[in-house]
Each structure stands twice: as structure tokens, then as C-alpha cells.
Structure 1
């Protein structure tokens, strides 16, 4: 006969047959805790006479305390300087955990694992430092892009002012600034592949400093050229005036021989559509973008009508001269534009008003244009 009181089968680990994976994990965890207590007890027994336990616990505690202090300093230093914020969240949690270990009794710290707290804190600290390096690399790249933009504008201004009467000292200061840019950019290029946080931060700072120097030197040269080139106080010299590339211009659909800057065409088309609805015809475009040479050919120093080349918003593709009744103050067409043009981002500038520097009812500009003519 088969006995009904037979013992259930067990596996080699001591678990009953059919035990779940969770049961096995819990049993394994219990065995580990038991082993840790046994080991700690053995350490106590072996070194009790010589005070070794106290020395060991103190040594581990001091090491963890020092590590916690450094981690807290890193938390402060990394504020706003990490590529991934979750790394700081993780470090904060590990600092809290380590602090709780330090608050325990000496024997409890021995049995609960001061070394484990140190290891976890080290992993979290490394994650924050790595994230800070990634953030610093991003700062370097952002600074390089900003410097490249400033450098491009500086080179444009430097080239446009050659032989135009600006004193050599002003141009030489910009040239020196541009030469320093090459050195800063080369240093930044070598830094981004490394892991040295201090080197990366210094590279970003140097790039930003050089950008500021180049920007200031560029502005000084532009102002010097403006003083020479543009006689009216509301005119501003621009190195791009009359030199806008074809790729940045767009043909006016109903006036195919005329062009404006591509980014203002849509607003002009919408203004024209509203004008057509009111008057049954397109805006009459008499003048639009002018090249430097074209502006040069119509400029007469004895007349304020046309601005000097380099000082005109026509040269930037941001101004049009309109006919068809608009060329006179007080007409129905002119008054309609005065009332409606700004709705479509076009305006009649102050200098062209009836009491302005050069009364020109026909001259209209995009709101993106700077003060000038």
C-alpha cells in the first residue's frame, strides 16, 4: 500500500517541489542575510579581543561619510549642468540611502553593508559626472555655432569695408579678433573628444569670450562704415545691402521683373490680394530689390531721394515702390494702404511720411526692415 503520510519531495536547495520563482528568490534572500550575519558574527569573534571590529567599522564609516560629502558637493555643482536630469535624481536618492546607513548603530552598519552603500553611491556619482561631461560637450558645440555665426558676419563686414575709407586701426582690431577665433575653435575641436570636464568648460568659455570680442569689433567697424557711408541718422549701413544672393530672393508673381526677399513674399502676396479685392487690380510695383551697382547708379549725393549704396532697404529686398495711385499722398489707394498695409506686415516708414525727411508716398517696407530708406 502507498502511505498517505509521505513527505513532499524537495529540490537540492531545500525548497518543496512546486515552489514558485518568488518563493525561491525570497529563500535565497533569507540565506544571504543569514550568511551576512554569520560572517559578521565570525568577524566579531575573531577580532573582539583586539578591538578590530571598532576599527573596521570606523574605517568604513569614515570612507562612506567622505563619499557622501563629495556627492553632496557634486549635487550642488551639477545643478543645471547635466544632460540628463534623472542622474541627479538617482544621486540624491543614493545620498539619502547612505545617510540612513550612517545613522545606524555600529553593529547594524556592519551587518547591513556599508560597502554596498558606497558602491551604489559611486555608481550614481559616476552617472552624474558622465552627464555633466555630455552637457559640457553640448555647451561647446552651441558656443562653436554661435561663434561661427559671429565669425561669418565679421568676415562679411571686414570684406565690405575694404577700401571704403574706414581707419585701418578699426579694421585691424577686427582682423586680430578673427585670428583669435581660429585658435579658440581648434582648442574646442580637440576638447570635445575628451572626458575632462574642466577642459570642456574652459573651451566653452573661451569660445563665448571670443564671440563677444568679435561681435564688439564687428559692431565698431560697422558703425565706422555707417558714419562714412550713410548721411542720414535714420539710415543704417548693412554689408548685405545690394548683395543678397539670388537664392534668398523671390520673384513677385504679378511683376516678374521684380524681387523681394523670399521670407517676405508671402506677406506681400496677401497684401496684394486684399488690394485687388478693394480696387480690382494688382499693386503696381515700380521698384523692388536693387543690387549694389543699381543703387550706386541712381544715387545722387546732392539729392536725398535715393540712399547711398549700402544704406537702402531696397538693397535688402525689404522695400518696394508702388504706383497706380499710391504715388501721391491723399489718394484713395494711398489711404487704403495706410489703413490696411500693417495688417499684412508692410508699413510706410516715418522718413517717407508727408513731414518726414524724404516725403515718398510710394515707398513701402516690410516690418522686418530696419529704420532707413
Structure 2
């Protein structure tokens, strides 16, 4: 048989004539390779995105902690002696020490350890210090308001009591202006008090204290002006409460219930009486004690130094008694005993009533709490 060269068999084609099977396989392989590369690229992209975001987050946390630490140290320094609870500053100091120790670690170590807990703890500690500073500032405002209120009340009493009493009206007008300024400062402080602004609270406390000083000075000036026209003797001190004490401020003398003294000096008078009884076998003879404004006005005689003008007598303050039973004469045993022993119980014989005083009165005795008592 003679062999002849035959043509290679033709590549099979699909029924639709769309190309060879090899081309289809190659195309399929290319598609798969492209898909795998695309998936890998997407995975790498998102991995880098996640890692970058996490890194940024961790780096940002470290930076935030560093900034918090700086602010915390500033707060710790500025809050010294300015917190209501010193323990808050101790806690802040401890949290700062922990934060600073973490920040001192190598950068990668800090990233590994994390700073979220340290940030939260430091935030809580700084908030506690700020809150305590506000508490203290509010307490100072409260104290200043009370102090101003007491000064204002006293000033109002002086203002009312000096009306038409002959003192310099310009001084009285100055007192009125000071009182109005004090009221305005208190009204402003009542609004500020509800806030948490330390600067405003501090300013309110300053204004309250300043106004208290102004009111006090104006009140003293008014009292001195009234003193000059009401009390003729230098040892007499005018007081707007003289002769006008409330019943609750007075107490009856147990062995002489027709007479009263200021309640806070009664115990000393009782102790003095007990010692006097042990010496002489009888109570102190009380001839006069607290006098109302009206009764002092009836007793006062401008031509005689015996009774002080209304408003100028310590009898009107419940701080003086007149004693008889032998004490109404100098150098008697009773008088000399009192001179030697009354001071132990808070009662004295004032200088103006001594034998060489302005008005020699052996019977007149005063509490050591009386203004001008000496």
C-alpha cells in the first residue's frame, strides 16, 4: 500500500461556530486569573484600609491621652487650695502618674497596651476636680452672701433708727446707697450661683465681699454720726437696738423676776449671786436691769449725767444692772467684795462709775460683753 501525506485533522468546532475549544479554555483561564487577582487586590486594599484605620485610631488615642495629660497637670496646679474635696486632687494626681507612665512606653508598646481605659479614668478624675472646684466656689459665694446679708440687716437697722435723730443726712444717704448696692450684688449672685462657670462664681464672690465692706463702712460711719449727736459722753456708745430688744433675747433674773438681762449673760449673774450669797447670806439686790427705750427716755434728763440718753445706755442692751443692799456706797464690804470677785463671773464696775470717774456710781455694774466696758 502506498502511503500518501494526509492533512492533519481540523480542530473541532462547536455547533455554533463560535471558536475553537482551546480558545474557550484559554479565555476561561484568563477570566479566572483576572478574578483571583481582583479578589486578591480587593482583600489587600481592604486589609490595608482596616490596618491603616486601626493604626490611625491607636495613634490618635495616644495623642489624645498626651493632650489630656498636659491639661490634667495644668488643672492639678491651678486647683491647689481651690477644691471642696482635696481627695479629688489626690485621685487626679494618681491618674496622671499612670497616664504618664503609659506615655513613657515605646510607641509600639503603647499601641499594643491601648489607652482607652487610661483616657476614661483621667477624664473622670479631671471632671471630679472641676466639679469640686465649682462646689468650693459656690460655698464661698454662699458664705459671702450670708456675710453681706448680716451686714445689710445691721445697716438697715441703723438706717431706720437714725431717721430724724439729727445725724448728718449726707452720711445717711451714703448708707442708703451702700445698702442698695449690696442688694443688687446679692440679686446678681443669686443668678450666678446656679451656674458652673468658675470665673463668674469668683467674680460674684469678689463683688459680694466688696459690697459687704462698703456696707459695713457706711454703717459704722452712720453709727458714729449718730453717736456724735446722741451720746454726750465719750464712753457712751449709741446702739440702734438699745431699749428695743426682742423678748426672746431677754431672760428674767430668777430671784428678782421683775427685772431682765440679756439671756446670754444671765448664767454669769447667777453664778455671781451664788458666790455673793455664800459670803453675805443674801441675794444681790437688783434695783434696775434692762430698760426699754421708752423707760430710758423717761429717766433721761439732759441737765443730769446720771441717766444716759435713749440709745446710749447699756441698760438698754440688757448688759447692765444697778445693785443695792450696801453696794450703793463705795468702800462697803459688799462693794469691795464685788470689786474683787465680780470679774470672775463676767461682771465689772466700769471706769466712768468709779469714785474718780465721770459719774461715780458704785451701784452700776456691767457685763464684760458691754461695749465700752472697762
| TM-score (structure 2 length as normaliser) | 0.83
Name which one, 1 or 2, has greater alpha-carbon Rg: 2
Q: Take 1:49 and 1:91, find their aligned partners in 2: how far apart are those partners?
A: 34
Question: Please, which runs of 5 or more residues in structure 2 have no aligned partner?
Answer: 1-46
In 2, Cα distance between the equivalents of 1:177 and 1:196? 27
C-alpha contact (below 8 Å) 2:65/2:119 kept by paired residues: yes
Alpha carbons 1:311, 1:372 under 8 Å: kept = no
- In the other structure, the counterpart of 2:204 is 203
Q: Over residues 172-214 of structure 1, what are the superposed CA-to-partner deviations in whole Å (9 max), with x where a residue is unaligned?
A: 1111111122222222222222222222222222211111111
Q: Aligned equivalents of 1:290 and 1:49: distance in 2?
A: 92
Separation of aligned partners in 1, 2:173 and 2:117 = 62
Q: Distance in 2 between matches of 1:72 and 1:320?
A: 64
Q: Post-superposition shift, 1:56?
A: 6.4
Task: State the Cα distance separating 1:47 from its structure 2 match.
Answer: 8.2
Which residue is 1:103 aligned to? 104
**Is 1:300 aligned to 2:313, yes or no?**
no
Number of the residue aligned with 2:218: 217
C-alpha contact (below 8 Å) 1:242/1:295 kept by paired residues: yes
Determine the structure 2 residue equivalent to 1:63: 64
Contact kept, 8 Å, 2:239 with 2:311, in 1: the verdict is yes
Partners of 2:75 and 2:90 in 1: how far apart? 12
Maintained 8 Å contact 1:158/1:171: yes
User: Is residue 2:315 matched to residue 1:288?
Assistant: no
C-alpha contact 2:367 2:373 (8 A) present in aligned 1 = no
Pair 1:88-2:89 in alignment: yes
Distance change in 2, residues 1:300/1:49 (3 Å): closer
Structure 2 CA distance for partners of 1:51 and 1:192, relative to 1, 3 Å:
closer
Give matches, 1:67-78, under 5 Å: 67-78=68-79
Unaligned runs of 5+ in 1: 1-44
Residue 368 of structure 1 aligns with which residue?
369
Q: 1:160 to 1:49 in 2, by over 3 A?
A: closer
- Distance change in 2, residues 1:108/1:48 (3 Å): farther
Task: Please tell me whether the aligned partners of residues 366 and 373 of structure 2 are also in contact (alpha carbons under 8 angstroms).
Answer: no
For residue 195 of structure 1, give the secondary structure of its aligned residue in structure 2: coil
Aligned equivalent of 1:9: none
CA contact (8 A) 2:185 2:208 kept: yes
Report the equivalent of 1:263.
264
2:308 and 2:176 map into 1 onto residues whose CA distance is 29
SS state at 2:69 partner: helix
Shift in Å at residue 303 of structure 1?
2.0
Provide the rounded CA distance (Å) in 2 between the counterparts of 1:298 and 1:91.
69
| C-alpha distance after superposition, 1:341-365 (max 9, x if no partner) | 1111111111111122211111111
- Relative to structure 1, is the Cα distance of residues 288 and 52 closer, same or farther in structure 2, using a 3 angstrom cutoff? closer
Partner of 2:193: 192
The answer to whether the Cα contact below 8 Å between 1:248 and 1:261 also exists between their aligned partners in 2 is yes
Map of 1:279 onto structure 2:
280
Instruction: Name the counterpart of 1:117.
Output: 118
CA contact (8 A) 1:244 1:316 kept: yes
Matched, 1:169 2:170: yes
Work out whether residues 318 and 366 of structure 1, in 8 Å CA contact, stay in contact via their aligned partners in 2. yes
| Residue in 2 that maps onto 1:333 | 334
**Cα distance, 1:168 vs. partner?**
1.8
- The alpha-carbon deviation at position 260 of structure 1 amounts to 0.4
| Larger deviation, residues 151-160 vs 299-308 | 299-308
Aligned ranges 1:212-251 → 2 under 5 Å: 212-251=213-252
CA distance in structure 2 between the aligned counterparts of 1:315 and 1:85, rounded to whole angstroms: 48
Give the CA deviation at 1:50.
8.5
What CA distance in whole angstroms lies between the structure 2 residues aligned with 1:225 and 1:260? 25
Contact 1:351 1:372 in 2 (8 A): no
**Distance between the aligned counterparts of 1:183 and 1:274, measured in 2?**
53
Alignment of 1:124-135 (within 5 A): 124-135=125-136
1:298/1:115 CA distance change after superposition, 3 Å: same
- Aligned-pair RMSD on alpha carbons? 2.2
